[in-house]
Amino acid sequence: MAELSELESKLGEVMGLAQAAQLATKKVEKLVQDEQLKETLRQMGEEAAQTEQRLEALTSELQGKKTALAEQARETKREAQDMMNTYLGGDDVDGLDGFEFLLMAEAGELGHVEIVEEMNKKVRMEGVDELVSFVKPIQEKHCRFTREGALKLAAEEV
């Protein structure tokens, strides 16, 4: 399989996290009753899907590296899912547990996008600046949403 550059490999990780985020938001949606939070989670899931599509479009132009990149994404998705299953695997988990997991996951997603942004200052790969402009505000918003959601549930739980 073709060797990926540091930046390409990082793009694969961002893609894998976006795939995992779609599953995580679905899982947490089942744990909460609050309709407004459910709606927020659905929106986050949709935006994760859009992020994945953007990455697909960008990386499909990387001749000969598509397979290696998809493999990197799969590996990262698997790791994220393992974490989710560890954190939310029990049958006594509630909505707040779900949001606590998302706090970590969304911070991880945002951090990876910022790493891509930083690497691309040197690499200047075509299309990456546009990708970052699209994805970074979404991830910043997701971090804010999950924090607000977690605190709302925490206030209700005591």
The site map against Fe ion for 67-106 (x = CB under 5 A) is ---------------------------------------x
Tell me the number of residues near Fe ion by CB under 5 A.
4
How far apart (Å, rounded) are the C-alpha atoms in residues 138 and 142?
6
* DSSP annotation of 145: H
Residue among 99, 109, 131, 150 that touches Fe ion (CB under 5 A): 109
How far apart (Å, rounded) are the C-alpha atoms in residues 121 and 7?
11
Assess 54 for contact with Fe ion (CB under 5 A): no
* Shortest reach from residue 47's CB to Fe ion, in Å: 7
Token couple for 47: 């935006």
How far apart (Å, rounded) are the C-alpha atoms in residues 36 and 19?
23
Considering only residues 6 to 35 of the shown chain, the ones binding Fe ion according to CB under 5 A are 21
Q: Which of 136, 137, 116 is nearest to 125 (CA)?
A: 116
How far apart (Å, rounded) are the C-alpha atoms in residues 106 and 66?
25
* Shortest reach from residue 11's CB to Fe ion, in Å: 16
Query: Which residue, 21 or 84, is less far from Fe ion as judged by CB?
Result: 21
Chain residues in the site for Fe ion (CB under 5 A): 21, 106, 109, 142
